[in-house]
Structure 1
Amino acid sequence: MKRWKFRPEGSTWGDWGDDDQLGRLNLITPKKVLEGIAEVKEGLSFCLSLPLDLPGGNVLNPRRLPPVLSPTGDENGWRFNFLTNTINPLFMDVASDDRVILTLQYSTQWDTLAHVGGMFDADGDGVPEPLYYNGFKAGSDVVGPQPDAGRDGCGHMSYAHKLGVENMAAKAIQGRAVLVDLEKHYGRDHKYVNYDDFARVLEADKVVVEPGDMLLLYTGFTDEIVTMDKKVDPARAHAMCCVLDGRDKRLLQWITDSQISALIADNYGVEAVPAKPGPENAEHPSLPIHNHCLFKLGLNLGEIWWLKDLALWLRDRKRSRFLLTAPPLRLPGAVGSPATPVATV
Structure 2
Amino acid sequence: MTTPQAPHQSSGGEIPRYAELLDRPGRLKGTAWGLWGPTDQLGTLNHLTPERVLAARESILTGAVVPLNLPLTEFDPPIISHRGSVEHTVFGLNEFHRDDRIDSFFLQASTQIDGLRHFGHPDRGFYNDTDPTGLVAGQPDLGIQAVAQRGIAGRGLLIDVGAYREAVGRPIDQTRNEPIPVTDLDATLEWQGSSVSPGDIIMIRTGWLQHFRQVTDHRDGVLRSPGLRQSEETAAWLWDHQVAVAASDNIALEAWPPTDSEVTVDAELNGSMPMSSHTGMLHRILIPLLGLTLGELWALDELAAACTLRKRYDVFLTAQPLNLLGGVGSPANAMAIL
TM-score by length of 1: 0.80
Task: Please state how far the C-alpha of 1:237 moved relative to its aligned partner.
Answer: 7.2
Contact 2:31/2:290 (CA < 8 Å) preserved in 1? Answer: yes
Match of 2:118 in 1: 115
Contact 2:4/2:33 (CA < 8 Å) preserved in 1? Answer: no
Superposed, which structure 2 residues align to 1:293-312 within 5 Å? 293-312=286-305
Partners in 2 of 1:188 and 1:13 — Cα distance?
35
**Bigger strand share:** 1
Match of 1:80 in 2: 92
**Alignment deviations for residues 132-152 of structure 1 (CA, whole Å, 9 cap, x no partner):** 10000212x213xxxxxxxxx
Partners in 2 of 1:338 and 1:243 — Cα distance?
20
Partners in 2 of 1:46 and 1:204 — Cα distance?
23
Superposed, which structure 2 residues align to 1:8-27 within 5 Å? 8-27=28-47
Task: Please state how far the C-alpha of 1:243 moved relative to its aligned partner.
Answer: 0.8
Task: Please state how far the C-alpha of 1:317 moved relative to its aligned partner.
Answer: 2.2
Partners in 1 of 2:186 and 2:263 — Cα distance?
28
Q: 2:258 matched to 1:238?
A: no
Partners in 1 of 2:116 and 2:73 — Cα distance?
25
Q: Which has the larger radius of gyration?
A: 1
Q: 2:107 matched to 1:104?
A: yes
**Alignment deviations for residues 193-242 of structure 1 (CA, whole Å, 9 cap, x no partner):** 112222222222222001111111011222233335xx5625597345x3
- Whichever residue aligns with residue 42 of structure 1, its letter is T
Match of 1:47 in 2: 67
SS state at 1:82 partner = coil
Equivalent pairs: percent with the same residue? Answer: 31
Partners in 1 of 2:151 and 2:264 — Cα distance?
43
SS state at 1:343 partner = strand
Task: Please state how far the C-alpha of 1:31 moved relative to its aligned partner.
Answer: 1.2
Contact 1:274/1:286 (CA < 8 Å) preserved in 2? Answer: no
- Whichever residue aligns with residue 92 of structure 2, its letter is F
Q: 2:205 matched to 1:221?
A: no
Match of 1:256 in 2: 239
Contact 2:123/2:265 (CA < 8 Å) preserved in 1? Answer: no
Task: Please state how far the C-alpha of 1:183 moved relative to its aligned partner.
Answer: 1.0
Task: Please state how far the C-alpha of 1:192 moved relative to its aligned partner.
Answer: 1.3
Contact 1:166/1:329 (CA < 8 Å) preserved in 2? Answer: yes
Task: Please state how far the C-alpha of 1:2 moved relative to its aligned partner.
Answer: 5.2
- Structure 2 unpaired stretches of 5+: 6-25, 166-170, 269-277
Partners in 2 of 1:316 and 1:33 — Cα distance?
25
Q: 1:63 to 1:232 in 2, by over 3 A?
A: farther
Partners in 2 of 1:67 and 1:251 — Cα distance?
34
Partners in 2 of 1:30 and 1:278 — Cα distance?
37
Partners in 1 of 2:250 and 2:148 — Cα distance?
23
Q: 2:147 matched to 1:162?
A: no
Match of 2:182 in 1: 195
Match of 2:20 in 1: none
Q: 2:89 matched to 1:70?
A: yes
Partners in 2 of 1:287 and 1:344 — Cα distance?
36
- Structure 1 unpaired stretches of 5+: 72-78, 84-93, 122-130, 144-157
Contact 2:66/2:335 (CA < 8 Å) preserved in 1? Answer: yes
Task: Please state how far the C-alpha of 1:114 moved relative to its aligned partner.
Answer: 0.2
Match of 2:10 in 1: none
Match of 2:163 in 1: 184
Partners in 2 of 1:280 and 1:322 — Cα distance?
33
Q: 2:80 matched to 1:61?
A: yes
- Whichever residue aligns with residue 100 of structure 1, its letter is I
